[in-house]
A and B are shown apart, each in its own frame.
Chain A
Amino acid sequence: QPWGGQSAAVNKHCLTRAWRPNSPSLGVLGGGYCWGSCVANSTSPGACPGPAQPRRCDPLPSCRLDQREAHRGLHREATPTRAAHRLRKPTGSGGQEACGRQNFEDVRCKCICPPYKENSGHIYNKNISQKDCDCLHVVEPMPVRGPDVEAYCLRCECKYEERSSVTIKVTIIIYLSILGLLLLYMVYLTLVEPILKRRLFGHSQLIQSDDDIGDHQPFANAHDVLARSRSRANVLNKVEYAQQRWKLQVQEQRKSVFDRHVVLS
């Protein structure tokens, strides 16, 4: 007995339901499984029900009617969302050019078809609305003929997927610009500023010799600037002051993490 398994018997379950003539339960839920079993069995003659259910077992057209339910159950696709319908776009005439143009569209229906008889496995990709996302619409040209179509299509798994290329683009651009700014600032703080300061203090040392320039580490002069900026009070100084204070904080953090190893080691 399976422990905790629930869907191992999906197909059998559907089979029984599908063949119940005029069953009212062939509605929304049942349709998903039952379409599959119906088509699968239609390959073997005689398995199809008689005139009681002609519409159900007429392979292609009726399956199209039921496909919305069908792929919900059979093709285990990514969560269907209502957005799909809004995003629905008119598909081109098909063929390579159309696909080339639609490369970066935001919706796709991707069907993976495993090897079948002499056909090797194949991946089909089409920009198509969620409603039409099934093997019959996406697999073009159909590699098999006639009665094999259903068997082939049953093996294919079609997934409807969405993405937002704008989000991706914007995110990457935001990320890269922040990273770039930080890098520039880092280069400024570690390389440019010490040189500038040295030059500045090199000149001013003649006048005021008490300035300490011994330490060339980044942020090393934060104490000085803090002391000096306190005396004046305009907006610029306030900004500078805040910056210097931040530098001091970072210096303190750096000491405790990298030098003294008291935290985060």
Chain B
Amino acid sequence: MESEQLFHRGYYRNSYNSITSASSDEELLDGAGVIMDFQTSEDDNLLDGDTAVGTHYTMTNGGSINSSTHLLDLLDEPIPGVGTYDDFHTIDWVREKCKDRERHRRINSKKKESAWEMTKSLYDAWSGWLVVTLTGLASGALAGLIDIAADWMTDLKEGICLSALWYNHEQCCWGSNETTFEERDKCPQWKTWAELIIGQAEGPGSYIMNYIMYIFWALSFAFLAVSLVKVFAPYACGSGIPEIKTILSGFIIRGYLGKWTLMIKTITLVLAVASGLSLGKEGPLVHVACCCGNIFSYLFPKYSTNEAKKREVLSAASAAGVSVAFGAPIGGVLFSLEEVSYYFPLKTLWRSFFAALVAAFVLRSINPFGNSRLVLFYVEYHTPWYLFELFPFILLGVFGGLWGAFFIRANIAWCRRRKSTKFGKYPVLEVIIVAAITAVIAFPNPYTRLNTSELIKELFTDCGPLESSSLCDYRNDMNASKIVDDIPDRPAGIGVYSAIWQLCLALIFKIIMTVFTFGIKVPSGLFIPSMAIGAIAGRIVGIAVEQLAYYHHDWFIFKEWCEVGADCITPGLYAMVGAAACLGGVTRMTVSLVVIVFELTGGLEYIVPLMAAVMTSKWVGDAFGREGIYEAHIRLNGYPFLDAKEEFTHTTLAADVMRPRRNDPPLAVLTQDNMTVDDIENMINETSYNGFPVIMSKESQRLVGFALRRDLTIAIESARKKQEGIVGSSRVCFAQHTPSLPAESPRPLKLRSILDMSPFTVTDHTPMEIVVDIFRKLGLRQCLVTHNGRLLGIITKKDILRHMAQTANQDPASIMFN
């Protein structure tokens, strides 16, 4: 079993050898456990002994003050490191919350003592807001950097601004008066590579030259991105949202939200977007924001030492991420609530709101696109829509749902192949091949050559008289002195028909490439390609409906609304609805998606079409499979994610799920006062369990409490180093009073402080429905099963996940990690 191997290796290296490895916590740049209020160097050595050798770093190694149980014996000196978690383990929400409450109580009680304590308590109260402010500032600034750099690098594929190298194409021609109405992006300052290398701007030679340079840049960007990811921070690849969902539900992946991940993700995200791959930067921005949140939470002891509290900051950070990704602060908060967060109290809602606000404000003041908007594809419509248009909107919703279902199936199949076969051993090669294919096919088609955000912008934009693209090549009658806003439906010209062909090809290309692109080992988001696919489909449908209405305005559905010369169909609106539908089909979001899209467009009147399309898309998608792409990836990776949305309806009892099973060896338990240190160490070495129930005695089997493996090893190690007279034959005592011992025996070791004396218990006849509910709602890590007050077995979160997989006819062994 993977997890056991993981654990064993980590365990042997970490724990017992750790005394030999020394370091001090202060140099742990990732901030793991920096804040501790004990000073002896031995403690540092001890704690860092585990962090030193490998498996734990960065994220959450909060050195703990007074950790472990809430019913802690206050007289005992706290043992550092107790109450922290190993890599790839699940946190116990109940325990963390108790810890926080206790800390809060302590600070509150000291508050009156002195001005200093008062200041400390104020700082503590404010630290929540401070940390989200910092997170918002950082994520806004990073989003600005990513936007500007990605735009510049994308245009670098085509050419360069000779007069000022740091400008992208648009900025290069910013003040130029040479731009013409037809070719708006041509100006003498901007040189294509063909102009620079072979000196001609037109003709087949220059086309080929530009083609070659485009492929060259695309390949080099992709190669740089994947090698940076591979060398410095492998965790920076992918979209990050499935992992963040898992982390927020209480899993620990050390290093996933660390400094290096942040830096590499930011840098390579730009490269990946610029390489023209069919991916977006929105999903990874959520990861970037969460990294900021995690890093800043180390500045505040309230958050650095408590995993549950830290997850509140991460929830707020993910809201800030979406806020800057789409320029949709409210949408970001709802996204955090609907999609990523697991535990979302009202306090977190307000903090998310604030973080989203700060982030959006910072990004707006950076003004990365020069259009005073937060996103490139901001559009503003004011054209009305009509009742009969709901029908094409719902059609688009059906398309979105089908696309979502198809994408999830195909992508998961491909990723499973990558995971299980040899093909996954060549990540660099894979990225290069995908990038090469994308670049070679994308260049000839103007709609795929464009940056995907720009493509979406073009598709969203409605055809006014000011537009000159081929999408707006309608046959005009030049007679009237019509006002700008009021362009009637017109017959399509040749340009529109050729554009539709190109869009169809682009649609097929995007659909295929996105399946193979999502999951390659560079930062890759899914929002933008999905939206692009929807926007292309929507625009095609929009133009079709528009032409239908123009040529058949006497049909009864059009008769009432679309007279000759009326402007009744807006193809751009269809593109927008299509984008929302496709995104909804893939992610199965509803509320947050509609809010994000309406914040993008600033048109409240389009909420009903958007809702109709998104809802249809969700229904259609759910008909083919209930999980969205993120849940599907979570399941593919076997993360221990207990989805609160799923329902558990089986009639099994706790006794059917608990360990040990009928033919298993009996439960490994500790007794309260008649085991020696050697006994416990043997038991720890022989088993791989993460915790041991403590009972009164083997005969009575009555439950005393629960001790975690990690806490036990740390405490024993610490005692061997620090306390006099602890040897292998010392008695270990979990009870309140030390039993009377023979005079010559060594001093007993008191471990009551690490014992959780209020473990959750259920009886063996509790229905699993209730047990699952308890696990979900309280965020338990394990639960003990008793019968007539005697300890019978244990149910862990992993057991529940395995059981659920089994009842759903899936392979229970796919659930990894504890």
Contact between chains at B372 and A258 (CB < 8 Å): no
Contact between chains at A254 and B230 (CB < 8 Å): yes
Chain-A contact segment, one of B334-342, B478-486, B576-584, B724-732: B478-486
**Which residues of the partner chain B approach A245 to less than 8 Å between Cβ atoms?**
23, 52, 57
Contact of B148 among A10, A36, A167 (CB under 8 A): A167
CB within 8 Å of A: which B1-44 residues: 2, 20-23, 27-29
Closest B-chain residue to A235, C-beta based? B27
Question: In this assembly, does A163 line the interface, its C-beta being within 8 Å of a C-beta of chain B?
Answer: yes
Question: In this assembly, does A189 line the interface, its C-beta being within 8 Å of a C-beta of chain B?
Answer: yes
Contact between chains at B177 and A5 (CB < 8 Å): no
**Which residues of the partner chain A approach B232 to less than 8 Å between Cβ atoms?**
182, 186, 250
Chain-B contact segment, one of A20-28, A56-64, A115-123, A202-210: A115-123
A32-46 interface bits toward B, Cβ cutoff 8 Å, 1 = contact, 0 = none: 000010001001000
Contact of A121 among B182, B267, B418 (CB under 8 A): B182
CB distance from B263 to the nearest CB of A (A): 7
CB within 8 Å of A: which B583-608 residues: 604-606, 608
Q: How far, in whole Å, are A40 and B366 apart by their CA atoms in the complex? A: 39
Q: How far, in whole Å, are A263 and B238 apart by their CA atoms in the complex? A: 11
Interface residues on A, range: 35 or more
Question: In this assembly, does B166 line the interface, its C-beta being within 8 Å of a C-beta of chain A?
Answer: yes
Given A103-B174, A246-B260, A6 and B382 contact (CB-CB distance below 8 Å): yes
Q: How far, in whole Å, are A122 and B21 apart by their CA atoms in the complex? A: 73
Contact between chains at B20 and A230 (CB < 8 Å): yes
Contact of B54 among A173, A252, A259 (CB under 8 A): A252
Question: In this assembly, does B740 line the interface, its C-beta being within 8 Å of a C-beta of chain A?
Answer: no
**Which residues of the partner chain B approach A168 to less than 8 Å between Cβ atoms?**
148, 152, 166-167, 171
**Which residues of the partner chain B approach A250 to less than 8 Å between Cβ atoms?**
231-234, 260
Chain-A contact segment, one of B298-306, B419-427, B500-508, B798-806: B419-427
Question: In this assembly, does B385 line the interface, its C-beta being within 8 Å of a C-beta of chain A?
Answer: yes
A206-224 interface bits toward B, Cβ cutoff 8 Å, 1 = contact, 0 = none: 0000000000001000000
Closest A-chain residue to B476, C-beta based? A115
Contact between chains at A262 and B145 (CB < 8 Å): no
Question: In this assembly, does B119 line the interface, its C-beta being within 8 Å of a C-beta of chain A?
Answer: no
Closest A-chain residue to B242, C-beta based? A264
Interface size on B, residues (CB 8 A): 98
Question: In this assembly, does A226 line the interface, its C-beta being within 8 Å of a C-beta of chain B?
Answer: yes
Contact between chains at B52 and A265 (CB < 8 Å): no
**Which residues of the partner chain B approach A102 to less than 8 Å between Cβ atoms?**
175
CB distance from A97 to the nearest CB of B (A): 11
Contact between chains at B237 and A186 (CB < 8 Å): no
Contact between chains at B181 and A162 (CB < 8 Å): no
A-side residues, CB < 8 A to B, are 2-8, 10-11, 36, 40, 43, 76, 78-79, 81, 96, 99, 102-105, 108, 112-115, 117, 120-125, 127, 151, 154-155, 157, 161-165, 167-169, 171-175, 178-179, 182-183, 186, 189-190, 218, 226, 230, 238, 241-242, 245-246, 248-250, 252-254, 256-265
B-side residues, CB < 8 A to A, are 2, 20-23, 27-29, 52-55, 57-58, 144-145, 148-149, 152, 163-167, 171, 174-177, 179-182, 184, 189, 224, 227-228, 230-235, 237-238, 243, 253, 255, 260, 263-264, 267, 270-271, 366-367, 370-373, 380, 382-387, 415, 418-420, 424-425, 427, 464-466, 468, 478, 481, 483-486, 519, 521, 567, 604-606, 608, 636-639, 816-817
